Amino acid sequence: MTGQRPGLRRRACLCCCLLLVFVAGCGKSKGTISGTVKYKKTPLTSGTIIFRGADGYMDSASISATGEYRLENFPVGEARITVVTQRYEKVVTSSKPSTPGGTTREVKGFVAIPKKYSDPEKSGLTWTVTKGSQEHDIDLD
């Protein structure tokens, strides 16, 4: 016998495991936000939606041809939102890397929005991200 009490090693191992579970659970919670972006009740057909957290963290999601977006794993808390659209998109004709100034085409069904929505200080768009999945439709006027 090595002089250790029976069960002491088992208790120490249990305590270490509980500590690891506790520390792993202390990470910042995250949420998944999805919804539709519309301007004057018309879904946007392209663009990007950008969420900016109070801590400076930023993430973005593409807006689909039906106006839908989905942003995963964004930290919980208050976020400012901006929306950016572009009238033209780059045309990809091969698997080669694109060249500067390549061919572009107008986005089908493009919906123009006021520039203020691309500025986080002027957009007026905010959302409090909560843990888990949530839906947030955005109606721009």
120 falls within a domain: yes
Interatomic CA distance for residues 34 and 81, integer angstroms: 13
Interatomic CA distance for residues 105 and 20, integer angstroms: 53
Minimum mean pLDDT range among 14-18, 39-43, 78-82, 98-102: 14-18
54 falls within a domain: yes
Q: How far apart are the first and last CA of the chain?
A: 79
| DSSP-based helix, strand, coil % in the chain, nearest 5 | 15, 40, 45
- Number of separate domains in the chain: 1
* 122: CATH: 2.60.40.10
Interatomic CA distance for residues 20 and 132, integer angstroms: 23
118 falls within a domain: yes
What pLDDT score was predicted for residue 23?
A: 43
110 falls within a domain: yes
Query: Tokens for 16?
Result: 């270490």
Judged against a pLDDT cut of 70, whether residue 39 lies above it is answered with: yes
Interatomic CA distance for residues 8 and 127, integer angstroms: 50
Average pLDDT, the chain: 85
18 falls within a domain: no
Domain containing 136 equals 29-91+102-140
13 falls within a domain: no
Residue 141, classified by CB atoms within 10 Å of its CB into exposed (0-12), middle (13-18) or buried (19+), is: exposed
130 falls within a domain: yes
